[in-house]
Structure 1
């Protein structure tokens, strides 16, 4: 016997029981069972729709977040590759600024500022650490330890060897420092 036949027989038995129990006619009993079935189907479909809608909203949020993260990481790689160039330019600027040729100094200063402002506009920031700050391994990388020149520099940063940079809240290169021991 097929499943459809079994379901039909069960429905007929329910209808007969309903008719025998009370003053309900056979047509009314069929109407009630069909209406109840429709209500159940409607409730199932509503639940299915709400779950599907919630799943789609979660999907939209997740893909949006992934897209933003992708843009950040793509930008991060380019900025990290530019950091050695910026370091070289900073060292060159220190030497050029000592020159007596004002036109050369002014020209190099303009290029240096333009490079820095372009990188800053892309989200690059310098990690601010200076001599005398307390060493924190979460924000700096210790290259070496030397005897502290004074007692107040013990456990503190004596010198900053290389600047650190961050992109947004994430440090993409830790500053390299010397610590007093």
Structure 2
């Protein structure tokens, strides 16, 4: 063998070894890249979930804050409701007395002013009339009496106390008498 042949035979196995090492390195690099891609996808998913959770938290707290502002005066409103009831009773009794027309006008004026102020703050009456159908979700039954007529059976015969809402929240259910 000549020197040239020796060099060629020696180089071929080394080239094959180098190619195998290169292929293994490429496969290792691809494997590492795939692993990094998987890790990146996991982290991206984790980030998106966390971001969505944070957005939901912001929406929820914002809604709670708005609701709190709407009903912040609830305690004051509940405390004033008996005063409104007293005004209504006073107006009813004053209307019966024909001689107290000026007194009735004064009390009515004060009552209307108080009601308009409270309505501006979000208070509203729950309208309930005699003959309306009783609904346990919307009314508070105080008692049952024999119905004066058949068409009032299971219906509201009398309203004892008005009900009120503050915004969309019921702060006092109407107290009613039901016909049997």
Q: How many residues align?
A: 163
**Could you tell me how far 1:73 is from its partner in structure 2?**
4.3
User: Is it true that 1:50 corresponds to 2:48 in the alignment?
Assistant: yes
Question: How big is the alpha-carbon RMSD for the aligned residues of Structure 1 and Structure 2?
Answer: 3.1
Contact preservation (8 Å) 1:142, 1:176:
yes
Q: 1:73 to 1:32 in 2, by over 3 A?
A: same
Secondary structure (helix, strand or coil) at the match of 2:60 reads: helix
Q: Following superposition of structure 1 onto structure 2, how do residues 1-181 of structure 1 map, counting pairs within 5 Å?
A: 20=20, 24=23, 26=25, 32=30, 35-97=33-95, 98=97, 100=99, 104-181=103-180
Q: Which has the larger radius of gyration?
A: 2
More divergent stretch after superposition (54-63 vs 91-100): 91-100
Q: Is the 8 A contact 1:99 1:105 kept in 2?
A: no
Q: Which has the higher contact order (CA 8 A, sep 6+)?
A: 2
What TM-score, normalized by structure 2, do the two folds share? 0.71
CA contact (8 A) 2:134 2:155 kept: yes
TM-score (structure 1 length as normaliser): 0.71
Q: Distance in 2 between matches of 1:31 and 1:118?
A: 75
Distance 2:168 2:150 in 1: 33
**Deviation by residue 1:51-108 (Cα, 9 ceiling, x = unmatched):** 2211211211221232233334433222111111111122223344556566544443
Q: Identify unmatched segments of 5+ residues in structure 1.
A: 1-16
**Structure 2: distance between partners of 1:29 and 1:138:** 70
Shift of 1:47: 2.2
SS at match of 1:74: coil
